[in-house]
Amino acid sequence: MESSYCTPLLDCFRRGEVAPDIRMMAAQGVLAPRAQEQLGLLVLLSNDADPAIRAATEATIARIPRLDLARFLGRPDVAHEIRDFFAGRGVEPVLSDAPLTDEPLLDADESPPHDPDPDPGDGSGDAADGEAGEAGEARKLATIQRLALMTVSEKIKAAMRGSREERTILIRDPNKLVSLAVLSSPKVNEREVESYAKMANVSEDVLRVIGTTRAWTKSYSIVRSLAFNPKAPIAVSMTLVSRLVEKDVRMISMDRNIAEPVKILARKALQAGRSRRG
């Protein structure tokens, strides 16, 4: 199955881990911020066990402009499951010279208001930045309080469409759907993922998804952050040891916070390296 058709949130739907109210929101087309994911959810929910959700899915599909849908299906990166589903309904792909876009085909954005992503900068500045720092802390507290009052569905929309500050808070949400929605956001970038990989107060599911997503583990900084995170699932950490440079492997082997099986593997890797050089 193509990677473009796999996101952490979409995988939760596939595994049947999503409550009816969230499934209904997806069936109405208001959840996914990308066209591929929006259509992927509709394909899944067209066979939902709940007849009301199936009916809502069909109504949403009927509202999608047919020409826009056909042109999207003509894109080379569309998952074959999606293309085959709509071909069975008589919608064939249409090639188009129009620029590629990931915007939803049915725009029903009802996400809560939020500030645009602020640029965190590089931390440089003079003493005058102190006032700005205090204002930032006040804003962060207000954001935490606002998010705490949201329903799960509202948090999911904020996680996928909100600001960087909202994502940093919601990645630690105890509800797995909310935290994984952050990783499904088209706004999340490599620098953010690296910061999540270092966190000891996120769920193992978050760290597992990061550690098994090839696009992110191409980054050595992310690999290293995960490997040194005591909260990371042992199986994930062990697969990453072979990716580390010798200096980091040595540090892993001596780190008291790292699980023993991971340290043992690191020591074996060091011994093997010495044997090859010997």
- Give 71-88 pLDDT, tens digit per residue: 999 998 898 999 999 999
pLDDT value, residue 113: 42
pLDDT at position 114: 47
Close Cβ partners of 117 (under 8 Å, ≥ 6 residues apart): 163, 164, 165, 187
Q: What is the pLDDT of residue 161?
A: 87
Nearest to 63 by CA among 26, 108, 118, 97: 108
Low-confidence spans in the chain with pLDDT less than 70: 1-5, 108-133, 278
In this predicted structure, what is the pLDDT of residue 115? Answer: 47
- Distant-in-sequence, close-in-space partners of 234: CB < 8 Å, separation ≥ 6: 259, 261, 262
Say what the pLDDT of residue 102 is. 77
How many Cα atoms occupy the beta-carbon half-sphere of 194 within 13 Å? 10
pTM value is 0.76
Predicted confidence at residue 95, as pLDDT, reads 87
The CA-to-CA distance between both ends of the chain, in Å, stands at 44
CA 176 to chain centroid: 11
Q: Which are the contacts of 14, defined by CB distance < 8 A and separation ≥ 6?
A: 44
Which pLDDT does position 132 carry in this prediction? 66
Give the per-residue pLDDT at 31. 82
pLDDT of res. 192: 97
Contact call for residues 24 and 53 (beta carbons, < 8 A)? yes
Instruction: Give the model's pLDDT for residue 236.
Output: 95
**Token pair in block for residue 170:** 């919601």
- pLDDT score at 218: 94
What's the sign of the alpha-carbon dihedral 118, 123, 125, 126?
positive
